Every structure is written in C-alpha cells, then in structure tokens.
Copies of this chain bind each other. A is one copy, B any other.
C-alpha cells in the first residue's frame, strides 16, 4: 500500500456528495484552524471508511475500544494517548511539532507533550548527586553527565535546568510503584559555570507499556509486542532558548528497531560505556545538548532529530 506520494484517486460506489455535506455543515464562526483541521480529518476519516468498506459492526468495535480507553484513563494514566502511541500518532505529531518549532522562533513547547509520567515538582539536586534511592538488585548504576551549549556560539550555558526521569528495572515509574520512594529516579539539575550537569542513576531497561487495556488489546490484535527500548526522559530549559524535550535510548537495548510506540530516532541512541575508577558506578553515559536561541532558526541538537514527547 502506498503510504505517501502516489495515492490512488478514491474510487467508490457510495454517495459522492456525502463528505462535502458533512464538511459544509461547519458554521461561519468556527475558527480558521478548527475548520482546516476538521475538514482534513473528516475527509480522511470518510476516505478510510469507504476504501476499506468499514461495516457498522467494525465501526462499533472501534467505538467500544475508544470508550474503554476513556473509561480507563485517570490522573495517572492516559489510555487514549497510549492507543494513539501504538499506531505511531504521538511520535508523528511530535516530529511535526518539532519541525514547526524549529522554524518559528516564537513557538513555546507546551507541557502537554510531557506525558503522564512526568511530574512538575522534581526536586532540584546537587551536581553529582544520585537519583537512585531504591537501586534494585539488577540495577546497574551509571554516571550520566554532559555539557549544555549554545547551538550557535557553541559556548557552554550555565544555569540551564536538566530535568530527568525514568522507570526502574521492573518497568515502573515511582508513582506506579509503592516500593519506590517519592521522586526515585527523578531530579532537576542546574548546569555549573562550565555548562556541566552530572548525576548517578541506573542504566534503564526495556519494559512493556501497560497491556491490560485497549492499547494492549490493539497490540494483541496486531500481533505485536508491547515493549519499549531502554530510555531516559530529559527536558532541558534555559531562558532565551527553545526547550528540548527528549528521550535517549541505550544502543545495546532490545527493541530499538521495534519500539512499540515508534519513538526511536538514530540521533537519540546513546552508548553506555564501562565507568573507570568510580566505586559508585558500573557505567558512564556522556550526553551533551546544544540549545537553539529563541530568535534563531538554528535547530537544537543533538536531540533535534526528535523532541521525543512519547509519554511512556
């Protein structure tokens, strides 16, 4: 099936005026963007239904699945989002948003892209502190560090905040797991006068996205696994620069090629190397980030290949 570039004209035997009728029902007071988005959505939704000749029963199953997603969603879980994730939609809108942000200097990244496991109240910790307070037996302690720079001048940036969060080796974030202390594997670090940040954490491991709801059902129906490759979430911010929200992936992890939510991009894959001369850590990870000034069209890097808003 052609996914782009050579779509066939939609030939079908159904009411040729129907889609136009629905689109034209939109009233004059709709916002221009709402009109544009919904016109395109209705067109594709109808073309999809006609191309595949979707039946009432099949549509009803889809409605039941989406209603179920809403019913499972809470303050701590967004199953509607997860259903989108397994069909690649969050990763795609993330790519789109990132490209638009890189082109428009006045665009501010919204907190909506952070997903359900981010918390706004990460404690600020000292450079070199640890964020692993309940290190599991299979946890491999890692020293992560790097430099935050200006993408244009290449100079180090002091006082940038590096916000980090990750799951433990059992696949659970601290708010999902009563055996982890509050804010385990989370912290906010401020870069020093050399633009440097540093902390101890554990090397992340692959884990399955929640499999007990409609997203899991969809994965089963699609004969797919629910695993995500090992990753660490990061947000880097400093006044005057475009914020970066990203995930970095362990190059030795399983599932890099078949992330269940399609968030991996080559530039986000990093290497954990054995740590020398440090009794506190087995591994080391160096990760630098270049920040694009708000008024420049320079993209941020190296996280630029994806802003990595996937939530899980």
Do residues B48 and A44 form an inter-chain contact, with CB atoms below 8 A? Answer: yes
* CA of A184 to CA of B142, assembled, Å: 70
Q: Mark A5-22, 1 if CB is under 8 A from B, else 0.
A: 111111111111011111
Q: Mark A267-297, 1 if CB is under 8 A from B, else 0.
A: 0000000000000000000000000000000
Q: Does more than half of chain A's interface fall in helix, strand or loop, or is it mixed?
A: helix
Q: Choose the segment among A63-71, A153-161, A165-173, A186-194 that binds chain B (4+ C-beta atoms closer than 8 Å).
A: A63-71
* CA of A74 to CA of B139, assembled, Å: 44
Shortest C-beta distance, A198 to chain B (Å), equals: 30
Contacts of A9 in B (CB 8 A): 4-7
Contacts of A121 in B (CB 8 A): none
> Is A51 part of the contact surface with B, judged by Cβ < 8 Å?
yes
Contacts of A70 in B (CB 8 A): 66-73, 80
Q: List 24 A-B contacts (CB under 8 A).
A: A4-B9, A4-B19, A4-B47, A5-B10, A6-B9, A14-B96, A21-B262, A22-B262, A38-B221, A41-B48, A44-B44, A44-B45, A45-B89, A46-B92, A49-B93, A56-B112, A59-B84, A60-B81, A60-B113, A67-B73, A67-B79, A68-B70, A70-B72, A71-B71
User: Which size class do A's interface residues fall under?
Assistant: 35 or more
Do residues B25 and A37 form an inter-chain contact, with CB atoms below 8 A? Answer: no
**Which residue, A68, A221, A262, has most C-beta atoms of chain B within 10 A?**
A221
* CA of A71 to CA of B110, assembled, Å: 25
Shortest C-beta distance, A226 to chain B (Å), equals: 12
Q: Choose the segment among A27-35, A129-137, A232-240 that binds chain B (4+ C-beta atoms closer than 8 Å).
A: A27-35
Contacts of A78 in B (CB 8 A): 63, 67
Interface, chain A (partner B; CB < 8 A): 1, 3-16, 18-23, 25-31, 34-60, 63-64, 66-73, 78-81, 84, 87-97, 99-100, 110, 112-113, 221-224, 258, 262, 309
Do residues B73 and A43 form an inter-chain contact, with CB atoms below 8 A? Answer: no
Do residues A87 and B18 form an inter-chain contact, with CB atoms below 8 A? Answer: no
| Closest partner residue, chain B, to A225 (CB atom) | B27
| Closest partner residue, chain B, to A2 (CB atom) | B43
Known A67-B80, A222-B34; judge A54-B96 contact (CB<8 A). yes
Do residues B12 and A4 form an inter-chain contact, with CB atoms below 8 A? Answer: yes
Shortest C-beta distance, A133 to chain B (Å), equals: 31
Given A40-B51, A67-B70, A68-B70, 14 other A-B residues pairs in contact with their CB atoms under 8 A: A1-B40, A1-B43, A18-B88, A18-B95, A22-B88, A42-B87, A44-B45, A46-B88, A53-B100, A54-B96, A56-B112, A64-B80, A66-B70, A67-B73
